[in-house]
A and B are shown apart, each in its own frame.
Chain A
Amino acid sequence: MTNETASASSALFSKENSKELLDHWVKAQLADQTRSEGISDSSVSTSSAEFLKLFSEALKGGNLSNINTPEWELVLRMLGDLSASRALQGSSSTDTAKFIFSLKHVLFERLNAASGLASKPEAKASWELFLLLDKLGLYTTEVFQKSRESVIRRQQKDIMEMSTPVIKLWDRVLAVPLIGTLDSARTQIVMENLLQAIVDNGAKIAILDITGVPTVDTQTAQHLMKTVSATKLMGAECIISGIRPQIAQTIVHLGIEINDIITRATMADALKEALSKVGYTVESDIALEKVR
C-alpha cells in the first residue's frame, strides 16, 4: 500500500473528522429499525466510540491488508468481545456483523461526498450494488448460523432426554437418578417423564436420587420441590435420596425449607423405606453362620 493511500486513510480518521464520523455512524445504527431489542442505545454509542478509537490507532501503522498483525490485535480483541457478548445476549449474527457494515456505509457516503462522485450514476449504482451484496452476504451467514444452532438444539434435547431416565425399581416404586445440574428445562423433562411413568406403572413411591447433582442452591431446591409437589398431586409419595453431608449443610445454611419430605442418605435406604411403605418386608434366605 502506498504512502498516499496510507495518509489518505489516516486523514479520514483525523481528530476533526472522527467526531463527525462517530456521530454519523451512531445515528445510522440507532436509526436502523431492524436492530434487535437487546442492544441498548447507550451500548451502541459506547461500542462505536471504542471501536473507532482503536481502529484509527491501528490505521496509523499503515497496514490495511493484514489484520493478523500486532497493531490490529486490540481491534480484533474488542470485536471478539463484542461479538461474544452479543451472542450471549441472543443477538443474531446479522446484527453483530451490521456493526461493521454500517460503518462501511457511512464511510462510503462521506468518501463519495468528499470526492464529488456522489452524483455520478456509476457511483450511485456501485453504492446500491454494494449494499445489496452486503445484504446477501449477511443472509448467507445468518442461515448457516441458524442451521448450526438447530443441530445443537436437537442434540441438547436428546442429551437431556437420555440423561433423565425413570427406572422401575419395584412394584409401584420408581426411581429417578438426577445427574448434573437441575435447571428449569431439565426439571420440566423430569416432571413429564416421572408423572407419566407414575400413571403407566400405578406407582406409589418415587425416589429422587440427587447423588449426581453437584450443588444444591436455592434454585435447585425449588426445582426439586416442584417435582415433589407435582408427584404428590398424582397421589404418589416422594423420597429424596443421595443427600451428601455438604448438601445437608448447604440446605440448612441457605434456610431452604424442605418441609415434610422424606429424605434418605442413600438409594438403598430409600428403597428399604419405599418397600415397607408399599407393604413388603425383605427377608434373607442365608442362614446366619455362627461367628467363631
Chain B
Amino acid sequence: MLIKTAEDRALINEDDIATVRSSVKRVVALLNFSLINQTKIITAASELARNTIEHGKGGKAVIQVLDEGERVGVRLLFEDNGPGIPDTAQALEDGFTTNKGMGLGLGGARRLMDHFSIESSPESGTKVSITKWQEKI
C-alpha cells in the first residue's frame, strides 16, 4: 500500500473545520467516489474535526490518498494532544437508535467509513484514523 499524497491542516478554531471540509472535498472528488460516499466522507471529517477542536483542544488533520493496486482510498487522521477519551469503547457505542456515546459522533463516523481506528490516552491525546476505499475503474 502506497501513500500517494498527504496534506496537513491545522485544526485550531472553528473556521478550520470548513477548510478541512473543502480540502477533503477536493481530494474525494478527484478519486471518483460516488456522491453519496463523498458526502459520507466529508461529513465524517467534519464530525471528527469538530471533536479535535472542541474536545481535543486543537490539533491537526492529515489527508492522505492511498493506492493499493486495485483500489484507491482516502485516509483522514485527526490528532490532538488533548485530555483523551477515557472509555473509547463506550464512546463508540452510540447505536443507530440510541443517543449514547457522549455525543462525540465517533460511532457515526465509523458507520460512514470503511475503516476506523482510535488511540486515546490522557498522556498522548487522541488519534483517530478513518479510511474509505474506491475501486479503480
Contact = CB atoms under 8 A, between A and B. Distances in A.
Let me know if chains A and B touch directly in the complex, using CB atoms closer than 8 Å: yes
Interface of A: 146, 150, 192, 222, 225-226, 257
A225 B70 contact: no
Contact of B96 (A146, A192, A226, A257): A226
Contacts of A222: 96-97
B30 interface: no
Contacts of B36: 192
Contacts of A192: 36
A150 B71 CA distance: 11
Interface of B: 36, 70, 96-97
Contacts of B97: 222, 225, 257
Contacts, number: 9
A33 B107 CA distance: 31
Contacts of B70: 146, 150
B117 to A, nearest CB: 11
A150 B97 CA distance: 35
A192 B34 CA distance: 11
A226 B97 CA distance: 9
A257 B96 CA distance: 13
A189 to B, nearest CB: 10
7 contacts: A146-B70, A150-B70, A192-B36, A222-B97, A225-B96, A225-B97, A257-B97
8 nearest A-B residue pairs (beta carbon): A222-B96, A192-B36, A226-B96, A150-B70, A225-B97, A222-B97, A146-B70, A225-B96
A222 B47 CA distance: 23
B76 to A, nearest CB: 20
Nearest to A150: B70
A192 B36 CA distance: 8
Contacts of A225: 96-97
A225 B96 CA distance: 9
A146 B70 CA distance: 9
A225 B97 CA distance: 9
A201 to B, nearest CB: 19
B67 to A, nearest CB: 15
Nearest to A184: B111
Given A146-B70, A192-B36, A222-B97, 6 more contacts: A150-B70, A222-B96, A225-B96, A225-B97, A226-B96, A257-B97
Nearest to A195: B36
A257 B95 CA distance: 14
A107 to B, nearest CB: 32
Nearest to A147: B70
A225 B95 CA distance: 13
A146 B68 CA distance: 12
Contacts of B96: 222, 225-226
A195 B97 CA distance: 21
A257 B36 CA distance: 28
A192 B97 CA distance: 20
A238 B43 CA distance: 26
Nearest to B34: A192
Nearest to B96: A222
A150 B68 CA distance: 14
